[in-house]
């Protein structure tokens, strides 16, 4: 099946499965999505862009970053497409291209932490993100103080033994 696809569709297929090619545009995914009202294009529209091979529009939009990964679209799709997986594939392509958007920065920092430590240290992740995008500072500080007062902020990052193996997983499977 992949042999007759253009590079973009082939890449989405590799990452999210070829099922999206069978989309009938019924809109069940959009109707199920908790953040649908904020999205333009909708999830349905996003899959249409993929089917039409409109790569740039498909990877450069806010819709990708409004997905909460709740998987309701995926359990409901009558064609067994995994719309959330399509969103993830497009995010991954966008991230690899170094797209500049605050959400992509957050994901890049998140993966970097796994690569460096093997686990997430929420304090340094949040700190690094706020350095890059200080707009959320006030609210994050409020939250940080709340969590700190309850002793729920780990000040030090755990470092696992198998960091090389984790690095290999990230580098070689991507």
Partner 1 sequence: MKLAYYPGCVSRSTGKEMDASTRAVCAALSIELDELEDWNCCGATHVSNEPVATGLSARNMAMTGLPIMTACSICYSNLRSAVERLKDPETLDKVNSVLDKKYSGATIRHALEVILEAMEEKDERIVLPLRGLKVAPYYGCLLTRPRGVDSPEWPTMIDKLIIRLSAEPVDFRLKTLCCGGPIFMPRQEAAEDIAFKILSEAKRAGAEVIVTVCPLCHIMLDAKQKALEQKRGQAIGIPVLYVTQLAGIALGLGPEELGLFMNSVSPMAVVERAYQRME
Residues that bind partner 1 (CB under 8 A): 15-16, 34-35, 38, 65-72, 74-75, 85, 88-89, 91-92, 95, 102-103, 106-107, 110-111, 113-114, 118-123, 126, 129, 133, 136, 139-140, 142-143, 146-147, 150-154, 158, 160-162, 165-166, 168-170, 172-174
CB of 16 to partner 1, least distance (A): 7
The residue among 79 and 119 lying less far from partner 1, judged by its C-beta, is 119
CA 119 – CA 133 distance, rounded (Å): 23
CB of 6 to partner 1, least distance (A): 20
CB of 169 to partner 1, least distance (A): 4
The residue among 23 and 90 lying less far from partner 1, judged by its C-beta, is 90
CA 174 – CA 156 distance, rounded (Å): 28
The residue among 25 and 68 lying less far from partner 1, judged by its C-beta, is 68
The residue among 14 and 54 lying less far from partner 1, judged by its C-beta, is 14
């Amino acid at each position: 099946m992949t042999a007759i696809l253009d590079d973009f569709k082939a890449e989405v297929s590799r990452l999210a499965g070829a099922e999206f090619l069978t989309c009938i545009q019924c809109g069940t995914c959009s109707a199920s999505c908790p953040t649908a009202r904020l999205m333009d294009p909708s999830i349905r529209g996003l899959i249409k862009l993929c089917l039409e091979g409109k790569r740039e529009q498909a990877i450069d939009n806010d819709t990708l970053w409004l997905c909460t990964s709740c998987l309701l679209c995926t359990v409901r799709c009558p064609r067994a497409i995994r719309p959330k997986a399509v969103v993830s594939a497009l995010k991954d392509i966008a991230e690899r291209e170094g797209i500049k958007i605050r959400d992509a920065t957050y994901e890049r920092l998140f993966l970097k932490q796994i690569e460096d430590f093997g686990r997430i240290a929420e304090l340094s992740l949040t700190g690094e993100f706020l350095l890059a995008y200080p707009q959320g500072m006030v609210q994050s500080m409020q939250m940080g103080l709340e969590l700190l007062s309850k002793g729920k902020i780990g000040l030090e990052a755990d470092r696992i033994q198998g960091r090389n193996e984790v690095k290999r997983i990230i580098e070689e499977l991507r």
